[in-house]
Structure 1
């Protein structure tokens, strides 16, 4: 059964704010990073809308903008993907993004370096106006809101290693409007993100793991639990070209996605070439 999500989300934020120490008067930006990535792969899982229309090809380029920042009160993270099909037969591109604000709750020390409030807005849309048989102005957009708690762990050799547990509030899914305006129940998500800098900082191994529980639809349909393991292995090619170190990286990203979007028929195994520029 759907809950009054906005009220519940706001209530949860109030509770988290109550137990989160206020930032000091000297709260300030400690660091920030902007980056732009280009991915190119040929094994993306073909996706179809409920009306059977295929929205993406298996061959795609992805442009990703990222911004991360650290403050005396906590941190933020934003990324936006623009997914573009390379086959002319599939003209519908898509956009996906996440925005997180993670205030520090307390710092125990030792193996658990930090405990933080984990909040996230997950959003996306598809440009389906090019297809005469599926031309709704809102495309297949969605907004999900995640609320939970996370820890920053002191894993040896890791630049950071964060684990967060969320409750997912699946509030807005226009894609499901084509199946009797069905809605999705809430579910849970476990997220792990990490970064290891190796070989004197010239090799970087980072990525994320998302594990989500299954959820029910209002019309009686059920999803499958999902598992997305996406690591990147990159080399500091900019330093070889005489550029400032740690600015231009080249490498690969591998996607191991079981039951993509909760669909038991979508299992993705996808190797992408990667170029990433920090500016």
Structure 2
């Protein structure tokens, strides 16, 4: 039987992420991404993906949401989304928890949704202050999985801006590592993007328009033992 703990946790996170209780929004970002790759595993290997992303930072924490709409060359379509709010323990306690490279400590949650299954992850996270990086985050989760046995997951995300001459680049991505259970293998998904801000240099846009490559390196994809994916994809990403 699944743990019931995640239910009140997600109720709390959902309430805090609603606009009606936002005390102060510090920043917000939205983007649309187009991806084209031809080395996907599990299903058709040639796919196009449109992704909408939205992230915000508030005085009580932060939220990240994305939805992928995937169209394969065989005509099949799929939607997948994640909603990941985090609540600052500094905000809840009224005491600043910043120490060393740790900027803050969070209650962290993620909902993963698709036509196949919904998964609920809950745990703790930290924001790290690493020189030259725009952000580095680390979250440790317990996962209540819809169709597989529950497991644990650690997630790292980062963004590293850099310049070559007058050209602006960004290297960002995530690593998900989940544990092995009797019905699925241990899984690692290392996905990163390296991209050039063509919008600023060519069109003088205020918001970035990136052109680059996404590299997905997946071991035991979806927990299927021996299914490994190395998939470079052409990408265009516009922020607004």
Deviation sequence 1:172-213 (CA, Å, 0-9, x none): 33xxxxxxxxxx321000000000111178110000000001
- 2:7 is matched with 10
> Quick one: distance in 1 between partners of 2:22 and 2:175?
35
Q: Does 1:40 align with 2:24?
A: no
Residue 236 of structure 1 contacts residue 245 of structure 1 at CA under 8 Å; is this kept in 2? no
SS of 1:10's equivalent? helix
Q: Quote how far apart the aligned CAs of 1:15 are.
A: 10
- 2:17 is matched with none
> Quick one: distance in 2 between partners of 1:57 and 1:30?
41
- 1:121 is matched with 111
Candidates 68, 89, 94, aligned match of 1:105 = 89
Residue 41 of structure 1 contacts residue 273 of structure 1 at CA under 8 Å; is this kept in 2? yes
CA gap of 1:237–1:34, structure 2 versus 1, over 3 A, is same
Provide TM-score, normalisation by structure 1. 0.76
CA gap of 1:70–1:197, structure 2 versus 1, over 3 A, is same
Residue 144 of structure 1 contacts residue 168 of structure 1 at CA under 8 Å; is this kept in 2? yes
CA gap of 1:26–1:255, structure 2 versus 1, over 3 A, is closer
Q: Quote how far apart the aligned CAs of 1:243 are.
A: 2.6
Residue 137 of structure 2 contacts residue 157 of structure 2 at CA under 8 Å; is this kept in 1? yes
CA gap of 1:243–1:210, structure 2 versus 1, over 3 A, is same
- 1:76 is matched with 63
Q: Quote how far apart the aligned CAs of 1:264 are.
A: 1.1
Q: Which structure has the larger Rg? A: 1
* Equivalences, count: 226
Equivalences for residues 157-172 of structure 1 within 5 A: 157-170=132-145, 172=146
Q: Structure 2: state its 5+ residue gaps.
A: 14-20, 91-96
CA gap of 1:65–1:26, structure 2 versus 1, over 3 A, is closer
CA gap of 1:57–1:244, structure 2 versus 1, over 3 A, is same
Q: Quote how far apart the aligned CAs of 1:215 are.
A: 2.3
CA gap of 1:122–1:26, structure 2 versus 1, over 3 A, is closer
Residue 211 of structure 2 contacts residue 236 of structure 2 at CA under 8 Å; is this kept in 1? yes
Candidates 31, 44, 54, aligned match of 1:57 = 44
> Quick one: distance in 2 between partners of 1:80 and 1:15?
22
Deviation sequence 1:196-236 (CA, Å, 0-9, x none): 111178110000000001223xxxxx210001111100100
Alpha-carbon RMSD: 2.1
Q: Quote how far apart the aligned CAs of 1:91 are.
A: 2.5
Equivalences for residues 190-209 of structure 1 within 5 A: 190-199=154-163, 202-209=168-175
Provide TM-score, normalisation by structure 2. 0.88
Moved more, 70-79 or 91-100: 91-100
- Greater strand percent: which structure? 2
Q: Does 1:85 align with 2:45?
A: no
